[in-house]
Amino acid sequence: MEKAVAEAPKTMSRVPISNRARLTPASPIRKLVHLANRAMETGTHVYRLNIGQPDIESPREFLEGMRAFDQKVVAYEQSQGNEALRVAWSKYTNRSLNLHTVPEQFLITVGASEALVFLFMTFCDPGDEILIFDPTYANFLGFASIAGVNLVPVPSEMENDFALPDRDRIERAITPRTRAILLCNPNNPTGTVYDRADLEFLFGLCEEHNLFFVVDETYREFVYDDLEPLSILHVAPTSDRVMVIDSLSKRFSLCGARIGCLISSNEAVLAALLKILQARLAAPTVEQFAAAYMLERIGDGYLEDMRREFLSRRDTLYQAVKQVPGVEIQKPRGAFYTLIQLPVRDTDHFAAFLLDEFSHGGATTFIAPAAGFYMQNSRGIDKARIAYVLRSAEIEAAVTVLAAGLERYRQQYP
* Residues at the interface with ligand PLP (CB under 6 A): 52, 111-113, 137, 184, 188, 216, 218, 247, 249, 255, 260
User: Residue 219 or residue 224: which is nearer to ligand PLP going by CB?
Assistant: 219
Nearest distance from residue 13's CB to ligand PLP, in Å?
A: 28
Question: Does residue 138 contact residue 373 with C-beta atoms inside 8 Å?
Answer: yes
Nearest distance from residue 247's CB to ligand PLP, in Å?
A: 3
Nearest distance from residue 123's CB to ligand PLP, in Å?
A: 18
User: Residue 47 or residue 137: which is nearer to ligand PLP going by CB?
Assistant: 137
Nearest distance from residue 114's CB to ligand PLP, in Å?
A: 7
Nearest distance from residue 8's CB to ligand PLP, in Å?
A: 27
User: Residue 338 or residue 364: which is nearer to ligand PLP going by CB?
Assistant: 338
Omega before residue 186 within 30° of 0, cis: yes
CA pair distance 340, 321, nearest whole angstrom: 8
User: Residue 372 or residue 405: which is nearer to ligand PLP going by CB?
Assistant: 372
Amino acid at position 28, single letter: P
User: Residue 143 or residue 302: which is nearer to ligand PLP going by CB?
Assistant: 143
Residue nearest to ligand PLP (CB): 111
Cross-strand bridge partners of residue 360? 363
Nearest distance from residue 306's CB to ligand PLP, in Å?
A: 16
